[in-house]
Amino acid sequence: MDAPDLARALYTAYQAPDWARAQTYLHPDAEVAMLATSERLAGRDEVIRFQREYPEPWGELAVLRALGDARAAAVEVEVRAREGVFQMAAFWDVRDGLLALGTEYWVDPGGSPPPGRAAYPAAD
C-alpha cells in the first residue's frame, strides 16, 4: 500500500471502529501531533488508546480525499456529528511501509473572515 491508501485505511478503521485493523497501519513508534489542541501521541499503542477512549458517539467520519506517494500522504477528513461538522487535514510520513509521523489540523468550519476581508465570497 502507498501512503494515501494507508491513511485512508487508518481513518476508515477508526470509523468502524476496528482497533485491531487500525493498528496494522501504524508504525510501532508512530507519533501524532494535534496542533489545534497541543496534544502529542507517542507510539502506536497510545494512538490507538486515544482513539478508543475518545467520547462516543462522535459522528460519521468520511475520508474526502487522500493524496501522496509511497513516502507521504495528505488526507482530508470530515466528521458529521450532532454538534456540527468538523473537518481535518492530516499529513503522514511513512517508515518501513507504515504510517509513522502524523500531524492533524482540526477545524470547525463556518467561521467569519477577519475585518477587511468580508468582500470575498464564502467557501463552500
pLDDT tens-place string over residues 60-83: 999 999 999 999 999 999 999 888
Share of the chain above pLDDT 90, in %: 75
Mean pLDDT of 29-54: 95
Contact 86, 54 (CB under 8 A): no
Domains for the chain: give ranges and CATH numbers: 3-107 (3.10.450.50)
Q: How far apart are CA 37 and CA 40, in angstroms?
A: 9
- Identify the band that residue 120 occupies on the pLDDT scale cut at 50, 70 and 90: low
φ/ψ (deg, to 5) at 6: -60, -45
φ/ψ (deg, to 5) at 114: -65, 160
- Identify the band that residue 124 occupies on the pLDDT scale cut at 50, 70 and 90: low
CA 86 to each of CA 6, 49, 58, 80, 108: distance values in angstroms, whole numbers, following the listed order: 22, 21, 10, 6, 5
> pLDDT per residue over 9-36, tens digit each?
999 999 999 999 999 999 999 999 999 8
Averaged confidence pLDDT in the chain: 92
Q: How far apart are CA 40 and CA 22, in angstroms?
A: 18
pTM for this predicted structure: 0.89
Q: How far apart are CA 5 and CA 51, in angstroms?
A: 20
The dihedral over CA atoms of 8, 57, 18, 23, expressed in degrees to the nearest 10, equals 70
